Chains A and B, each alone.
Chain A
């Protein structure tokens, strides 16, 4: 899937640029994408390392287990494949909570750790497990209470009411999460 999409992006984009005589832009994009990626990773990496450190403390002290036990009744409904009290439940909940508070940067390390933890439960290491996909759907739905980036952009443009989008956003994001989870369930049944 990703493979085909990738070919489509590059071939259609390149041909379109060449036909329109914008080969210089194409050149530029090909050369600069490495630097763009490196910049992005350099942006993620420092915080990633800090959170991995903090999380390891939480893991060693048993706090992560405790959190995961407290919320596992809810999550085990969504992730029936994960055994009760498994480490990944705590990481998934931390990721969701951080996302809820609009802390995308803090949420990513939890999410990556959760995926690693889900991978230990996965029988076929090359193929996505059902739990992984459910977890990703929750993430791609962008569940958040306060879309901070957009509010600050609105503020920058002198909006009369920058936070007016908060309530509609909340409604849309939670209903779409609900729909996303239903879609995920339907797919999971079909793929069995």
Chain B
């Protein structure tokens, strides 16, 4: 699997260039022309991403979530779901690096092969940073009204968490 993953990009690049050479396209000029688009794209990316990181960093560093979770603890015991996974589930859509840091803490605390760590890994591994993707993609092309995009994304994330809680015990 790792080999396939490693060969994917080089082979893709080779196919693209060889195919274009066969079609007598000026490969060099096309590359330069395409790469030029990167600058305006990065410039458009900056403001919305800055806004999101600004907000999320203040929120995640406040420790507010930890306090709120302490509150919810009894409820979680009632439905037999370990409270410890809640921060992972909540932070995953918000921030990739924060989610990874949480996972790292959990591995250190409980060991990478404990049930909690595996459950958190599966939640993290089968979802993505919804808020970041929405901000980046819509922000770059200047969409202001995102309609139901955030709701659809977050509901799918919720589905991921529930599915993980159901599926992981079947394997471990």
Binding site for B on A (CB under 8 A): 1-2, 5-6, 9-10, 12-14, 16-17, 20, 22, 25-26, 29-30, 32-34, 36-38, 40-41, 44-45, 48-50, 52-63, 98, 101-103, 106, 108, 111-112, 115-116, 119, 125-128, 132-133, 136-137, 139-142, 144-150, 153-154, 157-162, 164-165, 167-173, 175-177, 179-180, 183-184, 187-188, 190-191
Contact = CB atoms under 8 A, between A and B. Distances in A.
Given A1-B146, A147-B125, A171-B167, A56 B34 contact: yes
16 contacts: A33-B50, A44-B45, A50-B35, A52-B35, A63-B16, A101-B4, A115-B137, A115-B141, A127-B143, A127-B147, A133-B149, A140-B127, A144-B126, A168-B171, A170-B126, A176-B159
A135 to B, nearest CB: 8
B43 to A, nearest CB: 9
Nearest to B13: A54
Q: Is chain B's interface secondary structure helix, strand, loop, or mixed overall?
A: helix
A168 B103 CA distance: 17
B80 interface: no
A53 B159 contact: no
Contact of A101 (B8, B33, B52, B160): B8
B136 to A, nearest CB: 8
Contacts of A119: 141-143
A190 B5 CA distance: 40
A141 B156 contact: yes
Nearest to B49: A37
Nearest to B103: A153
A4 to B, nearest CB: 10
Contacts of B146: 1-2, 128, 133
A140 B58 contact: no
B-side interface size class: 35 or more
Given A6-B51, A10-B59, A128 B38 contact: no
Interface in B59-107: 59-64, 67, 93, 100, 103-104, 107
Contacts of A37: 46, 49-50, 53-54
Contacts of B64: 12-13, 16
A50 B39 CA distance: 11
Nearest to A58: B16
Q: Which 3 A-B pairs have the closest CB atoms?
A: A56-B34, A142-B128, A180-B156
A180 B171 contact: no
Given A13-B59, A133-B147, A52 B41 contact: yes
A148 B8 CA distance: 14
B59 A173 contact: no
Contact of A153 (B17, B49, B63, B107): B107
Given A140-B133, A168-B168, A40 B49 contact: yes
A9 B59 contact: yes
